[in-house]
Structure 1
Amino acid sequence: MFHLVQRCCFRTPLRLQKLTGPRLLLHGKNKTSCSSPSLSLQRNVCLLSRPLSLSRASVCAVKLQAFHTSFPLLKKKPPQEPRREPGLLQQSMKSLKESPKPALYLSLAGLIPFVSVPLLMVIQRTYHPELAFLQVTYGAVIVSFIGGMRWGFAIPENSPAKPDWLNLANSIILPLLAWQALLFKDITSSTVMLVISLGIALHYDLSLLPTYPVWFKGLRIVVTVVAAFSLLATLAVKMVSENELINSRPKRQNTKQ
């Protein structure tokens, strides 16, 4: 097999292969047994018998092999993406645990009038318009209180908020919206107006006006979401009760006939 490979690849004469073949085998078994003239003759014949294209291909192969087997530290590492900083919502919710206990407990207690009204209606399975009006009135008071906090935050000398037109005028807009909600005769319009007012107040405190502490922002998010869902829950109970009354009227008329 060795003679066939050597004859096909290197194109050497048959006699020369017979002379050099055994010596190469002896050289593989015992390196000291081969003479230096035979090795030099064999190397020269092999170099002369190789075509030019084969030598170029071998050079390219050696270069590619050297490129692929280069030291791994010399290779360029892909640039690492910068870590994304958490958003305002994540920061405020994480810092909610750092809020002072009086502010946390009083804010959660202030949600009881919002949550208790739809919960009581769901338990009794009836809609009470008087309780719904009390909930809207309490929501208007809370919106006015949130607007007044901006004045108390901007008036002190060392405060980061300045008593300018932006801070003071925006704080007055919220009581006006709450007053407009009480002027509506329909509870549905009043509830929608209060939900919009709570959203505007939260937008002011988070983005537009000078910043409050981070823990206070998280507290404002929780209070606003719970209050808005409580108002919408009361409105949903009202719509369900009205649909039940409409569906029950034809049955009563049929029983009377």
Structure 2
Amino acid sequence: ETKYPVVLLLHGKNKTTWSPLGLWLQRGVCPLSRSPSLNPASVYTTKLQAFHTSLPFFKKKTPKDSETKRPGILERSMKSLEESPKPALYLSLAGLIPFASVPLLMAIQGTYYPELAFAQVTYGAVTVSFIGGMRWGFALPENSPAKPDWLNLANSTVSPLLAWQALLLKDITDSAIMLVIALGIALHYDVSLLPTYPRWFKVLRVVGTVVMVLSLLSTAMLKTIAEMQPRQVQMDLEPANPP
């Protein structure tokens, strides 16, 4: 027999009866069982603090992150040009003078000279043929990374054939456009299709091709402008021939 019965089970009726002492203990224990840490306001504040500290884009970048940033394409290209052999760099830049000087001289004089335009197209055809022949010279040595197969040797003949076709055209504008196509195909072969040249040479090829293409298109544009002007204005700009 229990002196202070808390719970009395009534057999046969499946019921539980609470004594007054048990009810008093239940009311006294339940408030104590609530922990202050389960306060909704404190839990919400803790979650906000954890979320705030977990966001990576609120953190400032350290100096190491900015210092380890990779250089851009322009910076790497300039570095490759600096590492190129000086004879190749200087001769390539000097070879661009006949291209750039023709439209520059015409623009300064304000007159279109057909002789200079034809000389530029002829020099462009020779340059395109030379670029195509370089692939043969690069692929023929035994220790060369490029093999003398159909891919290298046959594609090298495309540029000279287009250059020859440019000289057969009567209109200088058509010849210039044909040379631009030939230069684009040759650049695609050397940079993308046949990527065995050193990096400095590829950068040099890109720079040279851009200058040559812009020079040829500038000459063709000056020719178009001269043809649109009245014939009398063009005759006034030409020097008078002595009797």
* TM-score in terms of structure 1 length: 0.67
The answer to whether residue 123 in structure 2 is matched with residue 144 in structure 1 is: no
Match of 1:187 among 172, 176, 196: 172
Contact residue 160 and residue 210 of structure 1 kept, 8 A: no
Mapped contact 1:154–1:163 kept (Cα < 8 A): yes
User: Could you tell me how far 1:145 is from its partner in structure 2?
Assistant: 0.2
Q: Does residue 59 in structure 1 map to residue 44 in structure 2?
A: no
Identify if the C-alpha distance between structure 1 residues 183 and 106 changes in structure 2 by more than 3 Å, giving closer, same or farther.
same
- Which structure: greater helix fraction? 1
Aligned mates of 1:166, 1:49 — CA distance in 2 = 87
Instruction: Indicate the percent of aligned positions where both proteins have the same amino acid.
Output: 63
- Structure 1, unmatched stretches of 5+, are 1-43, 250-257
Asked if structure 2 preserves the Cα contact closer than 8 Å seen for 1:89 and 1:218, the reply is no
Residue by residue, what CA displacement relative to the aligned partner does 1:2-51 show, whole Å, maximum 9, x if unpaired? xxxxxxxxxxxxxxxxxxxxxxxxxxxxxxxxxxxxxxxxxx9x966959
Amino acid at match of 1:229: L
Shift of 1:245: 2.5
- The aligned residue for residue 155 of structure 1 is 140
SS in 2 for 1:160: coil
Choose 1 or 2 for highest CA Rg. Answer: 1
Q: CA deviation at 1:168?
A: 0.1
Q: Distance in 2 between matches of 1:84 and 1:180?
A: 48
Counterpart Cα distance in 2 of 1:176 and 1:89: 33
2:185 pairs, out of 200, 205, 208, with 200
| SS of corresponding position for 2:195 | coil
Which of 192, 195, 213 lines up with 1:210 in the alignment? Answer: 195
In structure 2, how many angstroms separate the alpha carbons of the residues matched to 1:124 and 1:76? Answer: 64
- Name the CA shift for 1:66/1:187 in 2 (closer, same or farther; >3 Å): closer
Q: 2:151 aligns with which of 166, 174, 178?
A: 166
For these two proteins, the number of residue pairs brought into alignment is 199
Q: 1:183 and 1:87 mapped to 2: Cα distance?
A: 43
Aligned to 1:96: 81
Separation in 1, partners of 2:215, 2:135: 25
Mapping of residues 224-235 of structure 1, within 5 Å: 224-235=209-220
| Local SS of the residue matching 1:220 | helix
TM-score (norm 2): 0.70
Aligned to 1:159, the other structure's residue is in SS state coil
CA–CA distance in structure 2, aligned partners of residues 208 and 227 of structure 1: 21
SS of equivalent residue, structure 1 residue 221: helix
2:107 corresponds, among 102, 122, 145, to 122
Q: In the alignment, what sits opposite 1:25?
A: none
- Residues 113-133 of structure 1: per-residue CA shift (max 9 Å, x gap): 111111111121111111100
> Which residue identity lines up with residue 159 of structure 2 in the other structure?
L
State the partner residue of 1:254.
Answer: none
* Cα distance change on mapping 1:56 and 1:154 into 2, 3 Å: same
